[in-house]
Amino acid sequence: MPPGHRVAVVGGSLGGLTTALLLRELGFDVDVYERAPATLVQRGAGIGFLPDAARYLCERAQLPLDTLCVRTSRIRYLDRHGTVIHEAAHRYRFSSWNTVYGHLLSLWGRDRYHLDHEMTGWRETGDAVDIRFSHAAPRSADLLVCADGIGSSARARLLPDAQLRYAGYVAWRGTVAEASLPPAIGAAFDDAITYFVFANSHVLAYPIPGPTGSIVRGERLVNFVWYRNYMDGPELDDLFTDGTGQHRQLSLPPGAVAAHHVAELRAVAAARLPDPIAALIQASAQPFLQAIYDLDVPRMAFGRICLIGDAAFVVRPHAAAGTAKAAADAWALAEALKTQATIPQALAAWEPIQLALGRQLLERTQAIGRRSQSDGNWNPADPALLFGLRRSGEQ
């Protein structure tokens, strides 16, 4: 396809930035529109840094992988008393949302990264898409890439029947400065991802880059994720009502969780979790919340419009593959646009493969979630529980 086509990427997070960078390299005229009024921060804390998630920074930007993430060599399981009951060699790489976002945004630049641009709609004119924004003048593009996340307004308009389905549990998350932990506690999380699995719940912890991106021991953070079941309805609504009384559906950021829920979290941690993990949760100053949802879509391409990442498939975090899936969508889109004659033809060729990838990842993460949160058949030695985008154990 000849260069010069105008592309509007709506959503300025990791998937949107990766798409924008790849399409700019193809010679397209690309702008990124982000609805937030200020630069994004603290989305998800720790992330699994699977190959697709790291690919652009390593392959195109030529950044050394070891400067972007923390490597761990072990998977470790504790019992209630903190004794190691299972340990196996397996390499993982962990980064942080802030680290990856900061590098991608620096590579993209600020000139064509438009904050405070919430898309309110569009009109297709046959050979273009005229896009409307809440606080800015309309823009026209030859291709509209919707990377606007789990609460995608684009998906709501294109596929109104595709609705989020609550999985029955939430993820409590938090980070603690490694240097602030007593040495005996910090040692439990060094060079390993550490799990504790008990009735209808599991918690995991691992080291990630520090606030400045440092991967030096003592300058890193330790990240935890604790999956806990809550009934849909009043119980879940109360949990997601913040300290000011405002209810939110999807997540509560650091500092927003009501104080009595934070106190309950710490009390249950002290009563139910191994001492190292309980101490980690006690030390987290501002734990935050993410509700776990499933969502699949029958389509991702619509003429000159497409959905990528969480705007299409919302998958559970158990494969650590959400960031990698968004990046994989972006790479495949760039390849299709490079090899096909027109934008509609490129999207038609791209869509079936990405639909298949999203469906298999969703099914796999649903199965993993059921094993800990309801079925009670989690086996630490089962390779099906390993992280990965296209398959378990992908490195």
Q: Are residues 129 and 272 in the same domain?
A: no
Contact of 80 with 274, CB cutoff 8 Å:
yes
Residue 101 tokens read as 């976002």
- Give residue 253's domain range: 69-89+166-293
Number of domains in the chain: 2
Report yes or no on 392 lying in a domain: no
Which amino acid type is present at position 4? G
Which amino acid type is present at position 21? L
Report yes or no on 241 lying in a domain: yes
Q: Are residues 299 and 289 in the same domain?
A: no
Domain end point (choices 238, 273, 293): 293
Which amino acid type is present at position 367? A
Domain end point (choices 293, 314, 344): 293
DSSP string, 98-117: HHHHHHHHHHH-STTEESS-
Q: Are residues 265 and 337 in the same domain?
A: no
Residue 136: give its domain's CATH number: 3.50.50.60
Q: Are residues 151 and 18 in the same domain?
A: yes
Q: Are residues 14 and 113 in the same domain?
A: yes
Q: Are residues 134 and 234 in the same domain?
A: no
- E strand map for the chain: 6-10, 29-33, 46-48, 70-78, 84-96, 113-114, 119-124, 129-133, 139-141, 143-146, 165-177, 192-198, 201-208, 221-229, 251-252, 288-294, 301-302, 305-307
pLDDT values of the chain reduced to their tens digit, one per residue, 395 residues? 777 899 999 999 999 999 999 999 999 999 999 999 888 776 558 999 999 999 999 999 999 999 999 999 999 999 999 999 999 999 999 999 999 999 999 999 999 999 999 999 999 988 999 999 998 899 999 999 999 999 999 999 999 999 999 999 999 999 999 999 999 899 899 999 999 999 999 999 999 999 989 999 999 999 999 999 999 999 999 999 998 999 999 999 999 999 999 999 999 999 999 999 999 999 999 999 999 999 999 999 999 999 999 999 999 999 999 999 999 999 999 999 999 999 999 999 999 999 999 999 999 999 999 999 999 999 999 999 999 999 998 87
Domain end point (choices 293, 326, 346): 293
Q: Are residues 43 and 134 in the same domain?
A: yes
Report yes or no on 395 lying in a domain: no
The residue assigned the tokens 């193809």 is 26
Report yes or no on 28 lying in a domain: yes
Contact of 269 with 204, CB cutoff 8 Å:
no
* Cα 50 to Cα 107: distance, rounded to the nearest angstrom: 20
- φ/ψ of residue 96, rounded to 5: -125, 150
Q: Are residues 211 and 82 in the same domain?
A: yes
Q: Are residues 192 and 137 in the same domain?
A: no
